[in-house]
Amino acid sequence: MALSAGETGVPKRAGEGAAKADAAIENELMAKVLLIEDDRETAEEITSELTDRGFEVEWAADGIEGLGKARSTRPDAMIVDRLLPGMDGLTVIEALRKDQMRTPVLVLSALGAVDDRVRGLRMGGDDYLTKPFAIVELVARIEALLRRPAESRETTLRVGALELDLIERTAKRGDRAIDLLPREFRLLEYMMQRSDQLLTRAMLLEEVWNYKFVPATNLVDVHMGRLRHKVDGPDEVPMIHNVRGAGFILRTGS
């Protein structure tokens, strides 16, 4: 078992060290990520960030090379720039899908170039991110892609002392019943399916509320504040954590 850099090494930025270490804990299996990006500087930034977080990163500078590397190295996830020399990023993905490779893909697209084909990625289980992006957002989304919740028939979700009954639509923490509004229930359900995983505001907006726009107000924070107030009682150990400048994590325990 390989130890990830984030777990043992000194974090590069002190303020984000805790979040980084937490995100890295789950990368024990050294997930392989293939990055297809033609801009060398961007590629280096992404590579060093992902390596710090315990990923094994392979880099290809154009579509054709990327397609070859995807076929030979069989990565666990791919980050593909939409505009690539040689072969368009979406064409690379289509070629891989024809080979029955279901590797999850995160497409990087310019802000003005998000069309229906790119939007369609989310429906196919993949994801996209518009350039320029925050590096935390990229890492959070790659982790989300790598740990897509398995289709489960469980009717009760359990995270630590937290229990969510999907049939009865009730929630408990230990013996304490939590009274949730429907929107709070939806949010908690989504977070429990992805416990110990950093969820950014944009991800929550897209997935929980299904909104495709960035609201002017900090909507997510307000909703999250309400939920946290109900989930974490005054004498209890907090489970919902705010990662400054990034998003939220539902932590299993201590």
Partner 1 sequence: MRQPQFIRSNTFHWALAVAAVFAIFVIVLFGFIYWKTDDYLIARSDKMISRQLDFIAALPADRRIDAIGQHLGEDSRGVQYAALFDAGGRTIAGNLERIPPELKMNDIVRSVPIVRTLPSGQERREIRAIARRMPNGDALVMGREVDEAREISHVVGQALALGLLPAFLLCLLAGAWLSMRAQKRVEEVNQRVQRIIAGDLRERLPHRNVDEPFSRLAVIVNGMLDEMETMIHALEGVGNDIAHDLRTPLTRARLALERGRTNATSLEQLQAVADKAIAGIDQSLSIITALLRLAEIENSRRSAGFGNVMLQEMLREVCDLYEPIAENKNIALRVEASHRLGVRGDRDLLFEAVANLVDNAIKFTPEGGKVGIELSRAGQEIVVSVTDSGCGISEREREAVLRRFYRSDKIRNTPGVGLGLNLVAAIVRLHGFRLVIHAGPGGRVDIVCFDSQQG
Question: Least Å distance between CB 115 and partner 1?
Answer: 10
Q: Does 223 bind partner 1 (CB under 8 A)?
A: yes
CA–CA separation, 197 vs 147, rounded Å? 9
Of 134-163, binders to partner 1 (CB under 8 A) are none
Pair 35, 18: CB distance under 8 Å: no
Pairing, β 176-178 against β 199-200: unpaired
**Residue listed under structure tokens 């939409």:** 82
Q: What residue has token string 């107030």?
A: 229
Which of these segments, 10-18, 49-57, 85-93, 192-200, binds partner 1 (CB under 8 A)?
Answer: 10-18
Q: Is 123 in the site for partner 1 (CB under 8 A)?
A: no
Q: Minimum CB separation from partner 1 for residue 192, in Å?
A: 20
Q: From 29-37, 61-69, 96-104, 214-222, give the range in contact with partner 1 by CB under 8 A.
A: 214-222
Q: Which residues of 10-38 are buried (b: 16+ CB within 10 A; e: fewer)?
A: ebeeeebeebbbbbbebbeeebbbbbbbb
Q: Could you say whether residue 212 binds partner 1 (CB under 8 A)?
A: yes
Backbone angles phi, psi at 148, to 5 degrees: -60, 130
**Which residues in the 75-114 window bind partner 1 by CB under 8 A?**
111-112
Question: Is 225 a binder of partner 1 (CB under 8 A)?
Answer: yes
Binding-site ranges for partner 1 (CB under 8 A): 13-15, 111-112, 130, 132, 182-183, 209, 211-217, 219, 222-223, 225-226, 245
